[in-house]
A and B are shown apart, each in its own frame.
Chain A
Amino acid sequence: QQQVKQSPQSLIVQKGGIPIINCAYENTAFDYFPWYQQFPGKGPALLIAIRPDVSEKKEGRFTISFNKSAKQFSLHIMDSQPGDSATYFCAASPPTSGTYKYIFGTGTRLKVLA
């Protein structure tokens, strides 16, 4: 019940394409869902995050879609660029009062071809 399942494991798209990365969770009490971008040898960088009371959130070329009833959320990257090639992690925060320890998905390695 504490897992976050992320798919696909890897993804290759052409420049300008819209890669979509999906995550699913089981615990309905999770209340915060961030996405992180990680380049090789670097720390994860917060991209965008959403709470369950919102179905969609956009920040620049990044969009989160959230389906509370299906317990799924996804990241869409509009007009993808080679510089977006990185590993993307979704996460969820379990319902422990005052403690936002994230549970991370296993990551999606994205490659955007020029």
Chain B
Amino acid sequence: NAGVMQNPRHLVRRRGQEARLRCSPMKGHSHVYWYRQLPEEGLKFMVYLQKENIIDESGMPKERFSAEFPKEGPSILRIQQVVRGDSAAYFCASSPRQTFYEQYFGPGTRLTVT
């Protein structure tokens, strides 16, 4: 059973460009969480999604950030007009429906904004 997959693993964007981060949950998992980790810090919750629904986006910045989890395909975290402060590691985690409190993390996407 493959784990949570994220791509790309590394992403370099210039200020003002868009970044798209993809997350494929583990097979059978229907819950996806996105977290951001700044250097030398813990992970901060951003958004929680189920298929076709945003359940909780209380950790998302109000502007430039959006997330989706379509019926088919991976979950996508989109950052428009990136700034240097967006440089971080972005992790997604997935949970099974039955034990949705257990979160399994992917390897992360390391975004660098130049």
Q: How far is B95's CA from A34's CA once the two chains are assembled, in angstroms? A: 14
**B100 A42 Cβ-Cβ under 8 A:** no
Q: Which residues of B contact A6 (CB under 8 A)?
A: 42
**B42 A46 Cβ-Cβ under 8 A:** no
Q: How far is B41's CA from A106's CA once the two chains are assembled, in angstroms? A: 6
- The number of chain B residues touching the other chain, given as a range, is 20 to 34
Partner of B45, one of A42, A44, A98, A103: A103
B-binding residues in A (CB < 8 A) = 6, 32, 34, 36, 42-46, 49, 89, 93, 96, 98-107
Q: Which residues of B contact A105 (CB under 8 A)?
A: 42
**B55 A99 Cβ-Cβ under 8 A:** yes
**A43 B45 Cβ-Cβ under 8 A:** no
Whether A46 contacts B41 in the complex (CB less than 8 A), given A100-B95, A101-B48, A101-B59, comes out as no
**B42 A101 Cβ-Cβ under 8 A:** no
